Amino acid sequence: MKRSVFTFVGLAGTVAALTSVFYCMRAVMEVGGVCASGNTPYDIRVQCPTGVPGLMIGSIFLGLGFLALYAVSAVGPNLTLLAWPALFLSLGWNFLEFGLDPPGGNGTAAGWLVCAVVFFAMGGIPLVIGISAFVMGRDTRVPSRVTNRVGKVGPGTGTTVTGNLLISAWVLQLVAIAFGIWIGIEIFEWATGAAVSFGFG
């Protein structure tokens, strides 16, 4: 039960942090991709959107903490290694969208499109390698707590318990992911005062 709680909190927190970073990046790109805030002797040409700098920094560090908690306590399939593709593919999508339709509508932004290609490669290649390894039945280097626990189950009951635990673990993690996305959006809206649109563009 304790590991299940840690799994839920760790995964939900990680997803919430990723969601916040995703929307913070979009907010910055909407003002041109470069901004500043705080006390500085220089004139700030573009002020960062309200709440974005603090939320971005907090999301990065808290996200790493939640990911560490999830990594060491995951019940069932351990999705820790998917955090890397999730980060780079989501941010790559922002680069692609804003590169094709930059603020002001002045054609395309070649620099952002190059970044999109780089980020998609950084996230997509490890994802493809991981999926290939999974399909081929190779063991990951990240342990599954369900497997460890099932190894202690008595003869004649292992298959049923394994199935029940895996189903429960998948449900737990899917709910944590959905909850994390919702929490991330709520935190972004609270911190910035900006409403999130579910339609891109």
pLDDT tens per residue, range 108-134: 889 999 999 999 999 999 999 888 877
- Residue spans of the domains in the chain: they are 1-77+172-201
Q: What is the pLDDT of residues 152-161, one digit of tens each?
A: 444 444 444 4
Residues 165, 11: Cα–Cα separation, whole Å: 18
Residues 138, 129: Cα–Cα separation, whole Å: 11
Q: Are 184 and 16 in contact, with CB atoms under 8 Å apart?
A: yes
Confidence (pTM) = 0.81
- Beta carbons within 10 angstroms of residue 172's beta carbon: 18
